[in-house]
Amino acid sequence: MRVFNTRLPVLALCAGGTGGMEAAICNIASSGDTVAVLNAGKFGERWGKVARAYGLKVVEYTKRWGESFSPEEVAEFLDHDGAEASLLVVTHSETSTGALNDLEGITRIARERGKLVIADVVTSLAVHPIEFDAWGLAAAVAGSQKGLMLPPGLALVALSEAAWDRAKRSDLPKFSYNLTLAKDSLAKNSTPFTPPVPLVLALEESLRLIEDEGLEAVFARHARHARACRNAVTGLGLELFADHPSNGLTAVRVPEDRDGAEVVAHLRERHAMRIAGGQAPMAGRLFRLGHMGHYRDGDIRDLLAALDEVLLELAWVDHSKTREIVEAALGPAGS
């Protein structure tokens, strides 16, 4: 599948992204395994919960929300606290904070230490380049409703040869999420259970849209939109929440004396636009502008113009240069 850059089969499950996470864990791990998890947000934290639900031992490398993990830091972790783990879980784009991790670099140092890497690419697939085979990932998990632009309900899971080998030996309980069954059925152009047919057909269409635009052009568009959002936000005097922001969303730090829920509510009520607030424990402390998937330059212009208006209205800012900043970031070829 080209968005993953793998020659191996990518399996589609009738599940949310979390079901895909669960499938990766219960098919690749076996009882007694230790799983190392990089946790600097809601989804990193969720991976630990999923692994523990299967009785696995979890060692977590926890950082402050908004921070990314450098390959050097992960190497240090894997040489000490994470030494006994055979699996490392990395959230490529941590959607709760807007932070991006260097998946290629982290995978390289993990492989040097004999670890298999499971990647959460839910909000990086079709947003940032992913080289499943070339980077040597063991598994990657995505969901239909983020960069693939579909309604929720379809999880995509890619496994490497090494991961399929481990799946043969895996003794963890599984039934609906048995990926070996799914793979055997796929070889016969079928599925073990009724698939969400409308989503499978829609996926064909969304992949065709991506192919038509060109994967490189899709990445460039996300980079341009991310730049426009970041520049607009910092131009207004606000701070980005993430140290290394993802191109899929822009998380904005809320000033100490303010509540981010105000901005979310005003955009919804006055402009019929939905942005996301912070997830617990960061509720109110950040707000998130999503720009993954089907966005045109005009959508980003409208979003940032509305944000600008709301922030002026709420007196969070007392000036606006957003329009010029956004035009500069989007470039002349507006669409």
Ligand X SMILES: *Cc1c(COP(=O)(O)O)cnc(C)c1O
Residue 65 binds to ligand X (criterion: CB under 6 A): no
Residue 43 binds to ligand X (criterion: CB under 6 A): yes
DSSP states along 18-77: HHHHHHHHHHH--TT-EEEEEESSHHHHHHHHHHHHTT-EEEEEE--TT----HHHHHHH
- DSSP conformation class of 257: T
Give the shortest CB-89-to-ligand X separation in angstroms. 11
For the chain, the straight-line distance linking the first and the last C-alpha, in angstroms and rounded, comes to: 29
Residue 246 binds to ligand X (criterion: CB under 6 A): no
Judge whether 222 and 128 are in contact, CB under 8 Å. yes
Residue 122 binds to ligand X (criterion: CB under 6 A): yes
Residue 147 binds to ligand X (criterion: CB under 6 A): no
Residue 157 binds to ligand X (criterion: CB under 6 A): no
Which burial class, exposed, middle or buried, applies to 73 when counting CB atoms under 10 A from its CB (0-12, 13-18, 19+)? middle
Give the shortest CB-98-to-ligand X separation in angstroms. 11
Give the shortest CB-123-to-ligand X separation in angstroms. 4
Longest dimension (CA), the chain: 63
Q: Which span (5-13, 120-128, 292-300, 318-326) binds ligand X, by CB under 6 A?
A: 120-128
Give the shortest CB-121-to-ligand X separation in angstroms. 8
Judge whether 248 and 124 are in contact, CB under 8 Å. yes
39 versus 123: smaller Cβ distance to ligand X: 123
Residue 39 binds to ligand X (criterion: CB under 6 A): no
Q: Which span (11-19, 165-173, 204-212, 311-319) binds ligand X, by CB under 6 A?
A: 11-19
Q: Which span (118-126, 128-136, 259-267, 306-314) binds ligand X, by CB under 6 A?
A: 118-126
Residues in contact with ligand X, shown as a per-residue x/- string from 248 to 287 under the rule CB under 6 A: ----------------------------------------
Residue 6 binds to ligand X (criterion: CB under 6 A): no
User: Rounded to an integer, what distance in angstroms lies between the CA atom of residue 74 and that of residue 61?
Assistant: 8
Beta strands in 63-173 (DSSP E): 87-91, 93-94, 99-100, 116-120, 139-143, 154-159
Give the shortest CB-120-to-ligand X separation in angstroms. 5
Residue 309 three-state SS: helix
Residue 176 binds to ligand X (criterion: CB under 6 A): no
- Of the candidates 104, 93, 128, 44, the residue with the CA atom closest to the CA atom of residue 242: 93
Residue 186 three-state SS: helix
Residue 95 binds to ligand X (criterion: CB under 6 A): yes
Residues that bind ligand X in the complex, under the rule CB under 6 A: 16-18, 43, 91, 95, 120, 122-123, 143, 146, 152
